[in-house]
Amino acid sequence: MDLRLPPLVDHHCHGVLRTGPEPAAFERYLTESEAPAAPGTSYFDSQLGFAVRRWCPPLLDLEPHCPPEVYLARRSELGADEATRRLLQGAGIGAYVVDTGLPGDQTAPAELAALAGGTATAHEIVRLETLAERLAAGAASGADLLDAVDAAVPDAARTAAGFKSIAAYRHGLDFDPAPPAREEAERAAARWLDAGGGRLEDPVLIRHLLWSAVRTGLPLQLHTGFGDTDLTLHRADPLLLTGFLRATAPLGAPIVLLHGYPYHRHAAYLAAVFPHVHADVGLALSHTGARAEAVLAEVLELVPFGKLLFSTDAYALPELYVAGAQLFRAALTRLLTRWTGDGSWSAPDAHRVAALLAAGNSRRVYGLPG
């Protein structure tokens, strides 16, 4: 069936590199691993590598699945700027909701949207751990830091589309669900400052940040499921958030469980039973490539159709926006063609739900125009 999807709202992505990468470094962006590929292997030999080779070469005037070295040579020939424009313009994304908390020389939201051209809009997600680490650099005491956080979060909420936390990386999702008392948070802040600040891993401060964000009423994105070597995956199972979701339900602020894989069915269940919870499988579709349809189908088992949001979780390489967007469109089209074909769904429902997943749900949850 022809789904006639609207331009996608990518509710979770990052900036692209302002320069580079060098051809030899390109494949390092095709993995969540922080190490070079094992001897005798290449990160191009993965579902994500194959997906990039399928969808991107035609945007640079090459055949799908051309060899990596041919692709990288053409990319260098065009120049990173031209390649980035062509790729982003080919992704079919109409709104970028950008987590600006990643380190590195990446484009700001407005730059990204400008590179994508046309009418694409840009929106910011403020990463809580990055915000706190920045504030810690100028804080004189634990109390001072807490005051700064308590001013900065509502202040950020005036312009941001939402907040994000990577508590899954920094501690695991098995944290105490209750908000910490002020003095407990102050002591934790003082300990952290005494230790020189740096990478925030203290669960008390992370809880304080999470509750501060939820109290603004804006959506809060939480990393769940797979990521890089830094993560202990079974401590990123979204079910570990059950207590926190129960505790935050009365506040009503939307909570969006990112990625989820391989626990995406768990995230879908939470979205089914908690009205304020939503789910996403962006990163999982890109990394599972030819299997994106199967993964999308799994999350669509329990997730209410008004609760699943499209994203790419792309960063650094414009190729990742293309792969994420094209895999989503292709997977959704195949799935709904099958479900309408066997009578499980009606065609009008399929079109309506597809538009919700592609854009409508994100526009409603983040309050975006259009």
DSSP SS3 for 349: helix
Residues 197-236 contacting a copy of itself, CB under 8 A: 226, 228-229, 232-234
Binding flag, residue 31, a copy of itself (CB under 8 A): yes
Span near a copy of itself by CB under 8 A; candidates 1-9, 105-113, 288-296, 314-322:
288-296
Is 337 exposed, middle or buried (CB count within 10 Å of its CB: 0-12, 13-18, 19+)? middle
Residues 297-336 contacting a copy of itself, CB under 8 A: 297-298, 300-302, 304-307, 334
Binding flag, residue 288, a copy of itself (CB under 8 A): yes
Task: Supply the minimum distance, in Å, between the C-beta of residue 322 and a copy of itself.
Answer: 15
Task: Supply the minimum distance, in Å, between the C-beta of residue 289 and a copy of itself.
Answer: 6
- Residue whose CB is less far from a copy of itself, 192 or 263: 263
Binding flag, residue 29, a copy of itself (CB under 8 A): no
Sign of CA dihedral 237, 240, 244, 250: positive
Figure out which of the listed residues 73, 108, 274, 355 binds a copy of itself, where binding follows CB under 8 A.
274
Binding flag, residue 41, a copy of itself (CB under 8 A): yes
Per-residue x/- mask for a copy of itself, residues 49 to 88, rule CB under 8 A? -xx-xx---------xx-----------------------
Figure out which of the listed residues 72, 73, 272, 368 binds a copy of itself, where binding follows CB under 8 A.
272
Span near a copy of itself by CB under 8 A; candidates 1-9, 25-33, 79-87, 108-116:
25-33
- Residue whose CB is less far from a copy of itself, 60 or 356: 356
- Residue whose CB is less far from a copy of itself, 104 or 275: 275
Least Cα distance to 44 among 281, 230, 289, 227 occurs for: 289
Q: Give CA separation, 337 vs 2, 3, 109, 293, 346, in Å.
A: 8, 9, 35, 12, 10
Residues 336-365 contacting a copy of itself, CB under 8 A: 339, 342-346, 349, 353, 356, 364
Binding flag, residue 28, a copy of itself (CB under 8 A): no
Q: What's the rounded Cα separation, in Å, for the pair 302 and 274?
A: 12
Binding flag, residue 246, a copy of itself (CB under 8 A): yes
Contact 167, 206 (CB under 8 A): yes
Figure out which of the listed residues 1, 37, 73, 78 binds a copy of itself, where binding follows CB under 8 A.
37
Is 4 exposed, middle or buried (CB count within 10 Å of its CB: 0-12, 13-18, 19+)? exposed
Per-position b or e across 5-40, b if 16+ CB within 10 A of its CB: bebbbbbbbbbbbeeebeeeebbbbbbeeeeebeee
DSSP H/E element including 163 = strand 162-165
For the chain, the distance separating the N- and C-terminal CA atoms, rounded to the nearest angstrom, is 25
Q: What's the rounded Cα separation, in Å, for the pair 324 and 203?
A: 32
Task: Supply the minimum distance, in Å, between the C-beta of residue 129 and a copy of itself.
Answer: 21
Give the full edge-to-edge strand order of the sheet including 220-224.
8-13, 93-99, 121-127, 162-165, 220-224, 255-259, 277-280, 308-309
Binding flag, residue 141, a copy of itself (CB under 8 A): no
Rg (CA), the chain: 20
Residues 153-182 contacting a copy of itself, CB under 8 A: none
Span near a copy of itself by CB under 8 A; candidates 83-91, 116-124, 185-193, 272-280:
272-280
What does DSSP say about strands 277-280 and 255-259: parallel, antiparallel, or unpaired?
A: parallel
Task: Supply the minimum distance, in Å, between the C-beta of residue 159 and a copy of itself.
Answer: 23
